[in-house]
Amino acid sequence: MRPIDEIHLSYPFYGSRKIRDELWAKGYSVCRDKVRRLMRRMSIEALYVKPRLSLAHPEHATYPYLLRNLEITRANHVWSADICYIPMVKGFCYLVAIMDWASRLVLARRLSNTLDSSFCVDALEEAISTYGCPDIFNTDQGSQFTAEAFTGTLRSKGIAISIDGKGRWVDNVFIERLWKSVKYEDIYLKAYGMVQWRR
């Protein structure tokens, strides 16, 4: 999974065939089915235009996208969150980060070995207790962010909820750049054997 992740970071537009070819070039004997299965497990896929991209989880409430043509110039105006896959020496885990759009400051982060909502809620509560409440919180349609546990916390604080829709992949550019830095400048250099994350 680690070499797949490295290839995906370098060539995010590669699908399972191209990633398999890159793995072959690196000396790995692996079939496309296994690459595709591991990509699904890691929640990664090639960047390309897909029909019906913005389908939400059928059991979760839907929210509008509030950032269209909005000028964001001050801290605590808009926050966002995203999750990335972190390869470990044994297994893998997930890292969520909450970022302020104006300052690009990472306000809170949490690691988890499961993809439930609880670690996302913990990060959100830490960010709010440290920095106060934003006006708007924007995420993608991931089930962790549309779950009642997460959206209920936002609503209870009077925070407007914004969910990315079709064609809004660009909204994650800032946090995707963070993930690339985290992986290439820390994770891949240190090959952590257990969950260790310093402030």
pLDDT at 49: 44
pLDDT at 159: 97
CB distance 44 to 32 below 8 Å:
no
Fold of 78-190: Nucleotidyltransferase; domain 5 (3.30.420)
The DSSP secondary structure of 125-165, one letter per residue, reads HHHHHHH---SEEEE-S-HHHHSHHHHHHHHHTTPEEEE--
CB distance 9 to 184 below 8 Å:
yes
Sign of CA dihedral 168, 169, 174, 178: positive
The DSSP secondary structure of 2-17, one letter per residue, reads HHHHHHHHH-TT--HH
> Full-prediction pTM beyond 0.75?
no
Q: Flag residues of the chain having pLDDT under 70.
A: 47-60, 89-90, 165-171, 191-199
List of residues 6+ apart from 196 with CB closer than 8 A: none
Residue 6 CB-density burial (10 A; 0-12 exposed, 13-18 middle, 19+ buried): middle
pLDDT at 55: 45
Phi, psi of 9 (to 5 degrees): -65, -35
